Copies of this chain bind each other. A is one copy, B any other.
Amino acid sequence: MTRRPVRIVTVGDELLEGRTVDTNSGRIQRALAGREAPVLGVSVVPDEAAAIATALDATAAGDLVFLTGGLGSTPDDLTREAVAAWAGVDLEQDAELASRLERRWRARGINLKPSFLKQSDVPAGLEPVDNPQGSAPGLVGDLRDRTLVVLPGVPGEMAALLPLVLERLDARGVLPPAAESCLWRTAQVAEVTLVEACASVRDRWPGLRWSWWLTEWGADVRVAASPAAAAGDLAAAAAEVDRILDGIVFARERRTLPEAVLELLIARGRTVSTAESCTAGLVAGRLTDPAGSSAAFRGAVVAYADEVKTARLGVPAELIAAHGAVSREVVLAMAAGARERFGTDHALALSGISGPGGGTDAKPVGTTWIALDGPGGAHARRYRFPADRSHNRRLAVAAALDALRRVLEAGDDVSPWHQVDSWRGDR
Contacts and interface: CB of A to CB of B under 8 A. Distances in A.
Given A284-B281, A285-B281, A308-B342, A21 B21 contact: yes
Given A21-B23, A388-B132, A42 B43 contact: yes
Contacts of A289: 389-390
A261 interface: no
A259 interface: no
A211 interface: yes
Given A41-B44, A308-B299, A160 B19 contact: no
A33 B58 contact: no
Interface stretch (A163-171, A192-200, A405-413): A192-200
Contacts of A22: 21-22, 25-26, 42
Contact of A196 (B38, B113, B304, B307): B113
A355 B279 CA distance: 25
Nearest to A298: B305
A51 interface: yes
A391 interface: yes
Interface residues of A, number: 106
A61 interface: no
Integer count of this chain's copies in the complex: 2
Contact of A25 (B44, B190, B298): B44
A133 B309 CA distance: 31
Contact of A109 (B31, B213, B425): B425
A176 to B, nearest CB: 15
Given A19-B213, A279-B285, A40 B51 contact: yes
A156 interface: yes
Given A20-B26, A283-B281, A425-B108, A74 B191 contact: yes
Q: Which 4 A-B pairs have the closest CB atoms?
A: A281-B281, A109-B425, A18-B29, A18-B30
